[in-house]
Structure 1
Amino acid sequence: MEDDPAGREGIARLLGGLGYGVTAVASAEEAMEALERCRPVPSLLLADVILPGGLDGARLVAEVRRRIPSLPALLMSGYAAQPHGTTLCENGIRLLPKPFRKAELAQAVAEELRTARVA
Structure 2
Amino acid sequence: MTDVNYKLIRLRLERERKRLTEQMEHIRANRSSEERREGSPFGKREEEATETADLENMVAQEQRVREELADIETALKKFDLGTFGICEKCGRSIELARLEAVPTAKLCMNDAQKNAR
Query: TM-score normalised to the size of structure 1?
Result: 0.25
Q: Which has the higher helix share?
A: 2
Higher relative CO (Cα under 8 Å, sequence separation at least 6) belongs to 2
Query: TM-score normalised to the size of structure 2?
Result: 0.25
Q: Which has the higher strand share?
A: 1
